[in-house]
Structure 1
């Protein structure tokens, strides 16, 4: 799955009212749902900063800028979940399930193996960054 498709899946999942835009409230709820911290005021500021068409909402391209704007560590933590410092097949399966994608542990092992540079069966932060490129 290409990065843009992943972003689109996340975008659509959190576009609660289906209007093709993410409001500050939806952005706040999105970040909270994935275990991050972003107050409603911070979400409003982020939307104001990233909103390219001035409608007070994030379109898909604006959302991608938000996600890519230094959020790699947050994204890593979102997938890592277990507090072990690595993305495991179990934590990957859990996150993909939250995003509406049903996978097996074996499928997650295959996904991880594609970017597991040291062959330890899990992804560390550097391997995750390579995967996100």
Structure 2
């Protein structure tokens, strides 16, 4: 409930004409006032892609989708950064040795066998290492 109220408040800020929806020009204008830049044609594309009822405007649900889409991208970037910290050799996989090394840096001391067991729980294809896709599942 609280999050929805916050989105409504932000939507009202963007909604210059008070119709409860955001047009492409309102989106472009308000972003410019906030120091951002979104050309009207880019705003039109954004509104068109998020407009769920085809009226050419963003309603509250559409706006929430816009706001939360950025959050998902940020989460994905954070996951990639975390994965890269574990993937010391940069080969796209976390091996038991790399897991042991990172856990040791974090103050958690595990044997190679314990690390192999940890990896086995999330190793969907049985190759003995964790890929980024498996890491994402592990972190959910």
Q: Computing the radius of gyration over CA atoms, which structure comes out larger, 1 or 2?
A: 2
Higher RCO (C-alpha 8 Å, min separation 6):
1
